[in-house]
Amino acid sequence: MTETRPSEPTVFVLYGATGDLAARLVLPAFFRLAQEDLLPEQWVLVGNGRGDVSHLDFAEHVGEVLEEFGPKPGEGPWEEFRTRLRFAGGGFSSDDPGSLLDVLEEAERELGGSPQRIHYLAVPPSAFEGLTEALGKHGLAEGARVVYEKPYGTSMESFERLDAAVHEVWQEDQVFRIDHFLGKEATQDLHVARFANRLLSEVWSAEHVAQVQIDVPETLDVADRVEFYDETGATLDMLVTHLFQLAAEVAMEPPVSMGADDLQEARETVIDAFRPLDPSEVVLGQFEGYQDIEGVEEGSRTDTYVAARLWVDTGRWHGVPFLLRTGKQLAQSAQRVSLVLKDSDELVSGVPAQGNVLTFDLSGDGAIEVSMVLKRPGADDVVETATSTLPLCSVPAADPLPAYVRLILDVLRGDRSLFTRPDGLRHVWEVAAPLLDARPDPLPYARGSWGPAEADALAAPGSWLLGA
């Protein structure tokens, strides 16, 4: 077990510090750690960017970010927090480090000794290679840690190029590749609840499970990130990242231990057993009006929706379809992993289809739901499905952390349990290759719908639990 609070003095360098990702997720997560007293006693956060911004102006910017996205400065130790903020302008490249080296030297002198360095690349994936090369050239990698955001490449070729560039500079145990779905409270309970409860572990196989549904519909539009989205789409943004990783969490074999290395090994090993996608078992969609959005290329074939049937070729999951679905401008926002148990109607008649379901709700603080076929109380022998929900925030002494907060805390601790490895990512691209090589045309669907009706056939003989 690790200590709750990291103890090592730390300089946290945030590249892209004035950008959208830093504003929406990274800076709020860092302030939440300060609220929870989960930062080291001694730390400095150095923002890096192209502009020429003073330390004071950067602190003001961070305050404005927290006012917009929370936690608000008034809800935490803001006055002390702001004194730890620095800014290094002029960008950072192999040819020109800007002012970063000078600001780092000043920050490390202030902390004393040789503090831990953490480099967080909150920048577009196209900037990963250049920044990685610069970190190596300017001697900032030795003994440090580095955090990369997804997508980690956009194809097998780009993944391999980036992976080679990363390992030119870093040892694998220094690298933290964030997939924030792995940091969600309910995702962590996918393996904890399973391995700590024989009732669940005994049904976790093809003998009892008819299908697994991993469903992440979104009501959101793409207008705030249209340039990025039109280059990636739902398949690259969600399927080969979040949804495949969630499928691995469900499908993995029991690890040797719950330690970081063994959990990673179990997760990445089962990805190797994912069968390459059959394009005939994938439905792509594009919501009506997408091509009218400013910034979308004329005639764009970008998919804003993807539904796929994935097969896991292990003895445990032979013949069980993993149904994966996500998309923009859908009828409802949700983040759910559901194990649909096989129907048992040998003795009881009138059993509802898909009546027994175990669901992990990943949204918010997370919840576990159990849907079960029961006798409806009353004079007649009628069966119905009833659902009981356990909000994870109701667990005694619960203090749930948002995904980014938990993952940044793990980076500070040096715990890689909830981060991806390159072997698993390489397998992901192998699984996706048939689809990426022969993408079907995206089908139109109405905003506020459940996407193209053609995706309903993927769930047959059952149906999608949401929108049924």
Residue 344 has what pLDDT? 78
Is pLDDT of 3 > 70? no
- Any binding-site annotation on 237? yes
In 149-256, the DSSP E strands lie at 175-177, 209-217
| Mean pLDDT over each residue of the chain, to the nearest integer | 95
- Mean pLDDT of all residues in 411-424: 94
Give me the mean pLDDT over the 266-287 stretch. 97
Question: Annotated binding residue at 342?
Answer: no
What is the end-to-end Cα distance of the chain in Å, rounded? 43
Q: Is 184 annotated as a binding residue?
A: yes
For residue 282, what pLDDT is reported?
Answer: 98
- Closest listed residue to residue 336, CA positions, set 361, 354, 358: 361
- pLDDT band of residue 231 (cuts 50, 70, 90) is confident
Indicate the range of 5-9, 10-14, 117-121, 393-397 predicted with least confidence. Answer: 5-9
138 contacts 97 by C-beta, under 8 angstroms: yes
| Closest among 15, 22, 30, 11 to 77, alpha carbons compared | 30
Give the pLDDT band of residue 1 (cuts 50, 70, 90): very low
Q: Give the pairing type, strands 85-88 and 43-48.
A: parallel
Vertex 53, ends 50 and 54: CA angle to 5°?
A: 145
Identify which of 88, 75, 107 has the alpha carbon closest to the alpha carbon of residue 10.
107
Q: Does 10-149 carry CATH code 3.40.50.300?
A: no
Give residue limits of the domains in the chain.
Answer: 10-149, 181-400+421-459
Is 218 within any annotated ligand binding site?
Answer: yes
- Is 180 annotated to bind ligand? yes
Does 328 show up as a binding residue in the annotation? yes
- The catalytic residues are 242
pLDDT digit string, tens, across residues 43-67: 999 999 999 899 999 999 999 999 9
Residue pLDDT, tens place only, 87-118: 999 999 999 999 999 999 999 999 998 999 99
In total, the chain counts a number of residues equal to 468
The CATH number given to 181-400+421-459 is 3.30.360.10
> For the residues 442-467, what does the mean pLDDT come to?
97
Residue among 38, 57, 40, 39 nearest 49 (CA) = 57
* pLDDT above 80 (res 369): yes
Nearest to 5 by CA among 29, 35, 41, 31: 41
Distance CA 404, CA 446 (A): 32
SS3 label, residue 332 = coil
- The confidence score (pLDDT) of residue 345 equals 66
Pick from 259, 225, 251: nearest CA to 328: 225
Q: What is the DSSP string of 63-93?
A: HHHHHHHSS-GGGTTHHHHHTTEEEE-S---
